[in-house]
Structure formats: C-alpha cells, structure tokens
Structure 1
Amino acid sequence: MDLCLSIKGVSFLLQTGLGILGNVLVLLAYTHIVCLEPHLLPVDIILCHLAFTNLMLLLTRCVPQTMTVFGLRNLLNDSGCKVVIYSYRIARALSVCITCMLSVFQAVMLAPAGSCWVRLKTRLPGLVIPTFAVLWFINMAVCIAAPFFSIAPRNGTVPAFTLNLGFCYVDFRDNLSYVINGVAVSVRDFVFVGLMLGSSGYILVVLHHHAQKARSIRRSQASAAMETRAAKTVVTLVTLYTVFFGIDNIIWIYMLTVDQVPPVVADMRVWFSSCYASLSPFLIMTSNKKVRNRMMCTTGIDREQPSVNTQDSRETIS
C-alpha cells in the first residue's frame, strides 16, 4: 500500500471510528436520560434523532468506503448496493433536514412574546414527531430512484455517467439522468441550508437584543452567559454544516461536468460530506448540559449541578 493510499485509509478510518463512537455515545446518553426523566424536551428529541441519522449515514457510506480503501473487494452484490445506497441517500437528506429543523425550532422558541409566532410556539413541541414522520416520508419518496441506478462493481472499465463509489457503482446511463439527479439533490440541499442560515441569523439577532436588554437592566451574568453559549452553539453547528456543505457541492458541481469521475474525487467528496456527521456529536456532547452530565456520570465524575428549569425555552441547546 503506497503512502497516498495509506493516508486516505487512515483518514477514513479515523473519521468513521470517531464519528460512530461519538454518535453512539450521544444516543446512549439520551437513553440514560429517558430512563431518568418521563419526557424529553423537543430539542433533545431533535438532537437525538440527528445523532441517529448521522450514525446511519456513517454506517452506510463511510464503513464500506473504508473497507474498500483497505483493499476489500466484492463487498456487496446488486441488491446490497441498492439497499446501502438508498439508505445513505435518505440519511444524508435527513441530516440536513433535521439540522434545519433544529435551527428553525430554536428561532421560533426564541421569538419575542409579542411576535406573530406566539401561536406556533405553543403548538410547536407537539409537531416535532409528526415533522419527523413527514421528513422520512418525503425523503424516502425523493430518493426512490437511487436503487434503480445502483449496481455492484463489474470487471472492466467504468461506464460513462457513473459514480464510482468503490464498493458500488451508481450508473445513470445517460447525461440527462446524471444532470437531473445532481441538480435535484443540490436544489433540495440549498433550500434547507438557506432556511438554516436564515433562522440562525434570526436567533443571533434575538440574542443580541436580549444581551442589550441584559446590560441595560443589569441582569445576572449567568443569564447573559447562557444566551452567549446558545448563540455560539447555534452558530457553530450551522457554520460546521455550511462549510462542509459548500466543499461537498463544489466537488459535486465538478463531478456533474465530467463523464467519468476519478475515484480520488469521489473519495474527497465522501470524506468532506461525512465530516459533519463525525464532528457534530462532539459539539452536542460539549454544549448540551444533559448529555455532558450523563458522560460525567458514566466516567465516575460526580459534580453538583445547579437546578435547571427545563421549561426555559431559551436553553434550547445549551
């Protein structure tokens, strides 16, 4: 194995291993929380679902990709490729949808009491689970074409208009199908990223106004620190996704302009598009008090925590 292949293999191995570990820890932490509390807050349900979606993404894309990089061949037959590619497409779509959902939920919950969002704010917690069902249904329907183009690798040259994933081929058969698929995926992602950025910008504006009021009436430093922590977490999550989304789509646009995609380009896109799924659980662990406290309990660290009013809608992610 040459140096470049070794670097690629180690990179995928670290990304996959750390990402799976992080998302599993978040899910285990929430499992422990559910055992102690009768109900999860809506934001905790969203974060838990985000961790599950990212875990699904890593298992269906990065694990077979890592195995292929290390020389394992013929991992899947045609049926296996169809299942894996379909599951990956759904997980990837849900990752951006749920991140957008988290940002929009926080924006509505932080809206001022006198705004037009008051009625929606009272109903929003009850809409979380139905929204999950709608997102799953929509993305399963949108991604239904993926299995029809997915096949196991064949001996010989890679056909034109084919994405060579290493462990599977996605053969679009003609340029029109290739471009339509690429444009449809990009448009869907850009819409959700636009909503995500808009709602996150609104959150920052609201928190900025709260901070100004806090200074004017000299509220406690703890309240101001909570608002700052929430703002930093939202900005970091959205920035994290947007950066990797931008790199992913730059590579994807290039891939749409060529008949045959070099394997190294496809590998780069997979690595960058999976970075969010690998890094986001560690951001959740460091920024969410409930998850962090469960981690401390499991590691034997017992610290006195001040009581937190779980109904405070401002502490939506801290």
Structure 2
Amino acid sequence: MKLFNLLVAILFITQIGSGLLGNLFLLCYYISALLSGHRLRPIDTIFVNLAFANLKVLLSKGLPQTMFFLGMKNFLDPFCCNLIHYLQHLSRSVSLSTTCLLSGFQVIAISASNSRWSELKAQATKYIVHSCLFCWCFYLLINLTMLGIMHNSRFKSNNTRWWHLGYCSVAAPASFNTTFYGIIFSLPDFICMAFMIWASVYLIFLLHRHHQRVKHIHNLHISPGYFPEIRATHAILLLVCTYVSFYSIDSILSFSVFQFGKYESFLLPIAQFMTTCFPTISPFILISYDSQGHRNWRNLWSKKSSQ
C-alpha cells in the first residue's frame, strides 16, 4: 500500500468517524427526548431529517472510498455499484434540500411577528414532516429517472463509456450526453442553493432590524455573541456558507473528473472528501449554537442521573 493512499485512508476514517458520531449524537438526543416525554420543537424534525441524510452521505460516499484507499479495488459488482451511486446522489440532494428547508422555516419563524407571517408559520409547522417526506420522494424519483435514462435501450450501442471510481466502475453508452443530463437533473439543486442563499440574506436583514429595535433592553454587559438572534444568524451563516463552499468545489472537481476522465488524478479523492465535509461539520454547528437544545440535554441528563 502506498503511503499516500494510507494517509488519505486515515483522513477519510477520521472524517467519517467524526461525522458519524456527531449525527448519531443528534439522533440519539432527539430519540431520548421523545422517549422521556419531551416535546420537540417543529424545527427539530428538520434537524433529524438532516442528520439522517448526512449519515447516508457518509456511509454511501465515504465508506467505499475509504475501503478503496485501504487497497480494496473494484470490490463492488455492477448492481451494487449502481445502487451505491444512486444512494450517493439521493442522500446528497436530500441533505441540500433539508438545509434549504431549514433556512426557509427560520425565515418564517423570525418573521412571525407579522400577522400574515404568523398564519404562514402555523401552516408551515403542520407540514414540516410532509415537506421532509417530499424531499425524499422527489429525489427518489429524480435519481431513478436519471438511472433509467442511463440504461435506456435507446442509448445502447457497442461503444460504452466507463467512469472508474476506484471501488467500482459505472457504465453508460458513449452516446449518453453527460453534460446535458447533468445540468438538467442538477436544476433542483441549483434552485435550492439560490433559495437558501436568499433566505439567509433575508434572515440576516430581519435579525439586524430586530436587534436594532430591542437593543435597549439587552444587558450592556453581555457579549453580543450571546444575543439569541446573533447566535441564530451565526448558525445559519455557517451552515449555508459551509454547504455552498463545499458543494461548489465538489461540483467543479466532479465535473472535471467525469467529463475529462481524470480518474487517476488527485482530483477524485479531493472531490470525494469535499462531498463528506458538510455532513461531518453540520451536526457540530447545530450542537454548538442550539442553546435550547443544551438546556434540554442538561435537564434530560439530570433526570437520568437522579433516577
């Protein structure tokens, strides 16, 4: 085994292990809260959905790549390879759409002082679970359609194009237009990205205006970093900036790898690493900035300790 491959494998193991611990902690916390009779906030449903999608990204994307760098090459048969490739795209898109949903819901929640927005918040709260399910169903259909087009008999020919991922190879007819279908099926992701950025900018504006109005009631000795609205702004900015940054770099690198066939270059492991960065970091961002979650966790822990 080459030293470079060993170092990359250790890096992936560290990243995946940290991400799994963070997301499993979130899921275990919310499950424990439910079993203990605590009532979860509506936004907690989005957190659970995001943590579950992140786990799927880490397992479907990071685990096969780690095994490849540990020396296990092409260990997946064609069916399992297509299945893993399908799960990778599905979980990545659901993670993006859930982050988009989180941004939109927080805009509605912060704007609820207006009567029109308060009615919308009441409706949005009712349909959070439905929205999360819609994200899964929508991208299930999108990715199944993409998979069906790639293997449609209309595209079949003697010339086959292979994408070598290291742990397996994905095949498609040479007539399959990667760029065209990639752009078409990435449109929902781009729309989510645009909405997420707009929602975050609008939320920052609302929080800044609210902060100016109620500034006089805050204790002047408290650091601005402890204002609830400032903490919320930081959390949203970190989530959005983290996703946009890693998603953009990953998309550019993945396009270069698949379009120009540079599978043996250093671009492929970097692209794979960028894909799993957000699922690794996001649970720790949520844990760090969720002050109400901290209080609930302390109450839950104190109750268990007293029993």
**TM-score, with structure 2 as normaliser:** 0.85
Matches within 5 A, 1:25-36: 25-36=25-36
Secondary structure in 1 aligned to 2:170? strand
| 1:233 to partner: Cα distance | 0.8
Secondary structure in 2 aligned to 1:262? coil
Matches within 5 A, 1:243-262: 243-255=245-257, 257-259=259-261, 261-262=263-264
User: What residue identity is the alignment partner of 2:240?
Assistant: V
Name the count of aligned residue pairs. Answer: 294
Per-residue CA shift, 1:19-72, capped at 9, x if unaligned? 111111111111111122353211111011100100011111111110111012
User: What residue identity is the alignment partner of 2:138?
Assistant: I
Per-residue CA shift, 1:236-286, capped at 9, x if unaligned? 111111111121122133235414543532221111011001111111221
RMSD over equivalenced CA pairs, Å: 2.8
Alignment correspondent of 1:44: 44
Secondary structure in 1 aligned to 2:68? helix
Report whether the alignment pairs 1:171 with 2:171.
yes
For structure 1, which runs of at least 5 residues remain unmatched after alignment? Answer: 151-158, 304-318
Whole-Å separation in 1 of the counterparts to 2:30 and 2:67: 30
Which structure has the highest helix share of the two? Answer: 2
Whole-Å separation in 1 of the counterparts to 2:214 and 2:136: 41
Whole-Å separation in 1 of the counterparts to 2:228 and 2:262: 51
Alignment correspondent of 1:275: 277
| 1:118 to partner: Cα distance | 3.5
Report whether the alignment pairs 1:96 with 2:96.
yes
Secondary structure in 1 aligned to 2:227? helix
Percent same amino acid among aligned pairs?
25
Matches within 5 A, 1:56-135: 56-111=56-111, 113-114=113-114, 116-135=116-135
Matches within 5 A, 1:158-307: 161-174=161-174, 176-215=176-215, 217-220=216-219, 225-255=227-257, 257-259=259-261, 261-262=263-264, 264-293=266-295
Secondary structure in 2 aligned to 1:172? strand
CA contact (8 A) 2:163 2:258 kept: no
Whole-Å separation in 2 of the counterparts to 1:79 and 1:55: 22
Per-residue CA shift, 1:141-164, capped at 9, x if unaligned? 1001455559xxxxxxxx974332
User: What residue identity is the alignment partner of 1:207?
Assistant: L
Report whether the alignment pairs 1:22 with 2:19.
no
CA contact (8 A) 2:73 2:168 kept: no
Whole-Å separation in 2 of the counterparts to 1:300 and 1:41: 20
CA contact (8 A) 1:163 1:260 kept: no
User: What residue identity is the alignment partner of 2:80?
Assistant: G
The answer to which of 265-274 and 249-258 deviates more is 249-258
| 1:302 to partner: Cα distance | 10
Whole-Å separation in 2 of the counterparts to 1:40 and 1:23: 17
Secondary structure in 1 aligned to 2:177? helix
Inter-CA distance 133–120: structure 2 relative to 1 (3 Å threshold): same
Inter-CA distance 171–146: structure 2 relative to 1 (3 Å threshold): farther
Whole-Å separation in 2 of the counterparts to 1:31 and 1:135: 22
Whole-Å separation in 1 of the counterparts to 2:266 and 2:184: 24
Per-residue CA shift, 1:182-223, capped at 9, x if unaligned? 2134433221111001001111001000110012x4345679
Whole-Å separation in 1 of the counterparts to 2:144 and 2:113: 42
